Amino acid sequence: MHADALDWLARYRMHLREQRQLSPHTLSNYRRDLDAIVAWCETRHIGHWRDLDSQGVRNWSAECHRKGLGGHSIQRRLSALRGFCQYLVQHKVLEHNPAHDIRAPKSPHKLPHSLDVDRLQRLLEGKPGNWLEQRDLTMMELMYSGGLRLAELVSLDTRDLDLREGEARVLGKGRKTRIVPVGSKARDAIASWLPLRDLHASENETALFISRNGTRVSPRSVQQRFKRWALKQGLEGHLHPHALRHSCATHVLESSGDLRAVQELLGHANLGTTQIYTHLDFQHLAQVYDTAHPRARKK
């Protein structure tokens, strides 16, 4: 693409970083998604954003779909492009937004993966063999206790904890802060972890969870360590950290039926996002019904 078109893209990325103050993870997603449309435009000899019309956006979306990209991923790419084009409209580079009202193909509805209570007991009742395993167990306890996202977990500082009140202050999406509960098991794990953390942390390090090098642990490292711990505990399948967040939400909803409380716990801006857990709860009800109802049981 022309240098001017790429310059506008660089300005938009600076706007996202400095004005909207998006997280590094979100900025990385925006960069990847917008780079994808740049690459496609170059194959179609589209030199400037003024040359991209609505039909071009539809063609790009369709090509992503033909290559096997899922509907949610395409919608995320379209959302990134829509935001960028709106920025260009505001700066009078474009007269209208070519990505406006263009939607991705629908994807099959996927429910979050969660662990049942028995599997969680097996996961969390393992005995740590060293300080890194104590850290891993503490991270799992805290994630399950408060329904934390992976990014929220690794960004925690020691000052964000209030063990006397059983609370943690979490910085969520959109840099919104919320308070999540820290249950008794998580508090016990943290109490065992903090002396080890202080022993191995680098000077002036504020992170609650540190790596082998004494600095803040990375999301990728947490994913790998959780997988290793799950295998050690004899659990089949890949354990993604978000399974603990989903399990927390599912179990609280099953016990309380309070969707609003789960929304607040998870930090969802929209109740519709939380409602996916009602589908999980219904699945559980359907299984119980099939097993217990006299007219549903198979002979």
For 77-132, write each residue's pLDDT tens digit: 999 999 999 999 999 999 999 998 888 776 655 555 777 778 888 888 888 999 99
Based on the residue annotation, tell me whether 149 is a catalytic residue of this protein: yes
Q: pLDDT for 53-68, tens place per residue?
A: 999 999 998 888 888 8
pLDDT at position 289 over 70: no
Active-site residue, 106 included: no
Catalytic residue, chosen from 77, 119, 216, 245, is 245
pLDDT at 134 over 80: yes
pLDDT digits (tens, 9 = 90+) for 197-247: 999 999 999 999 999 999 999 999 999 999 999 888 888 767 888 888 888
User: pLDDT value at position 262?
Assistant: 56
Predicted confidence at residue 82, as pLDDT, reads 93
Read off the pTM.
Answer: 0.57
Is 12 marked active-site? no
3-state SS record for the chain: CCHHHHHHHHHHHHHHHHHCCCCHHHHHHHHHHHHHHHHHHHHCCCCCHHHCCHHHHHHHHHHHHHCCCCHHHHHHHHHHHHHHHHHHHHCCCCCCCCCCCCCCCCCCCCCCCCCCHHHHHHHHCCCCCCHHHHHHHHHHHHHHHHCCCHHHHHCCEHHHEECCCCEEEEECHHHCEEEEECCHHHHHHHHHHHHHHHHHCCCCCCECCECCCCCECCHHHHHHHHHHHHHHCCCCCCCCCHHHHHHHHHHHHHHHCCHHHHHHHHCCCCHHHHCHHHHHHHHHHHHHHHHHCCCCCCC
Tell me which of 13, 31, 113, 173 is the catalytic residue: 173
Please tell me which residue in 82, 149, 246, 251 is annotated as part of the active site: 149
